[in-house]
Chains A and B, each alone.
Chain A
Amino acid sequence: MKQHRPDNTLREAWILFMILGMIMINFPFIHIFNGDMSLLGIPRLVVYFMYGWPASIAVIWLFVRRLEQESQAQQNNNNNDLITR
């Protein structure tokens, strides 16, 4: 019986990143950037989100790419199976 699930590593990575994400946009982590300090006049928290947000989107993008590669690989495998049979 073939189960069409993404590989477990991905699943674990996903859970890990979710937790990490939850931490990184919440207290106390964002407290690090809170305060009057600024970068070129832009408050640090704003800078954090302006760069952190696209970065997290990039992570999702990488994750999706990995998913696609894996389903590609699985398809190839299936094809090979068929051929060798």
Chain B
Amino acid sequence: MKPPRSLRKLTEKLAVVNVTEEVIKVEGLTKIFNKHLVAVDHVSFSVKQGEIFGFLGPNGAGKTTTINMLITVLKPTSGKASILGYDIAKEANAVRYSIGVVPQEYTADEDLTGIENILLCADLYGIPREVSKKRAEELLELVELTKFKDKKVQTYSGGMRRRLELACGLINRPRVLFLDEPTLGLDVQTRAATWNYIKKLKKEFGMTLFMTTHYLEEADALCDRIAIIDHGKIVVIGTPDELKENLGGDIITLSIKQDADITNLVKKVERVKEVKKDDGMYLIKSENGEVTAPLIIESLRKEGYVVTKLSLSKPTLNEVYLQYTGRSIRDTEESPETVFAQRHTMRRARM
């Protein structure tokens, strides 16, 4: 695995940008199960106020273990982490009061109605009934479940259940919201709708979001910053664009009318990193391809060459992911317990 250059770059940057408040601060967080199974290995990162921070990684990489430590469900073996300045180990209760959690599974009770479920969540925070009733109504309105609030959760669709989980996670007005695979098992439209709710809620409450996801396109579109975790270690952190650019940039494919070798000519163009000739086509690697492509055409025309075909492809997060983890996001093994919970969730989602 290549040493992530961007990581160094970013650490330097962070040291300078330290003006914004760091809501989540993690230093050398480690979790070892049964004395030898290292699930999370000296993970360090920080999340700024108002950011959407995405955690990506294959199953078993340590995403859920990390999130479970941050939400005070698991105790770290070593290392430190704080949320809003509260230590997750020493001031767990203060952390619990200030965070919201939207778990991967559908945890709402099927035999209870929507509103009963939200009120149950409120009771777990000790919020008095007169306050929680008002908040529950507001939240139901926000996630558009008011019409269904007195129906048993059994009758809810996957998207409705997810929205109910969201409402539950917000009942204590958290400043940091943790979302574990918030769109697992939902179809494309429902996923998009769910994200609209999440964005709306974030805007409404000005929260900081920490999420894990399997859907790379989603992470790309929504997250301000992303950390890729594998074998319990963070392999790279950065904005989606930074990560993609780090791969070496975009690929410009072109062909010319004339039968001549233009490799050296193209190489002189600004930002061009690599030129390969393949079957009469030139494959050019460059950062900011959309800016470089016109420059290439321009310099070729000056020499009298005519460009006949040109295409530009941007690297996706998928390629970033493959580069750093060496495997595709889907072909990994899971513990039976996770599989069961996921299957249950997905079955409910499809109802």
Asked if A and B bind, the verdict is no
